[in-house]
Amino acid sequence: MRSFNGGNFTFNYPATWEVEKADVLSNPDCIATLSKGQDNLINGVMFPTATNLDDYKIFMEDSISDDGGVILSSDFTQIAGMDAIKLHANMDTPEINFDIHTYVFIENRNIYIFELRTLDVSGESEREFKDIISSFNILK
């Protein structure tokens, strides 16, 4: 496992994943981007927020549904010692069909969103993503 240090947070990731340059021009809130081949991409964002997990879960579900996605599961969970939202959805566009796995944390009035977009149907990338999120640590 390799370690990623984002200043006020850390997480570990498998050597099969590569850290990409975060696209802060398109998304100034981007804090981490990792890829595994062309079929798997993890993006992380962080920004100040006044919302809570209950309200943000509804917002996420509505946004995915409005974009034509199908929510396969959406639950509250505890991971990495914190309360979080765990969401799994499928997006079917004319160009591509892919799954989205998302974890959302709200700590110290900041929201941290990590999203895996994958074409991997074996479940390996999803398991690796969960391991990455399990190691997520906000530095005090």
The CATH number for 21's domain is 3.40.1000.10
Measuring CA to CA, which residue among 131, 78, 79, 124 is closest to residue 99?
Answer: 124
Residue 76: predicted pLDDT: 98
**Average pLDDT value over all residues in the chain:** 94
- Spatial separation of the C-alpha atoms in residues 118 and 136, rounded to whole Å: 20
Average confidence (pLDDT) over 10-36: 92
Can you tell me whether residue 73 is helix, strand or coil? strand
Average confidence (pLDDT) over 8-21: 95
pLDDT surpasses 90 at 105: yes
**Buried residues in 81-104 as b, exposed as e (16+ CB within 10 A):** ebebbbbbbeeeeeeeebbbbbbb
pLDDT surpasses 90 at 27: no
Q: Which residues pair with 103 in a beta bridge?
A: 86, 114
* Number of domains, the chain: 1
Q: Given pLDDT bands bounded at 50, 70 and 90, which one contains residue 19?
A: very high
For residue 54, give its domain range.
2-138
- Would the pTM count as exceeding 0.85? yes
Q: Phi, psi at residue 83, to the nearest 5°?
A: -75, 145
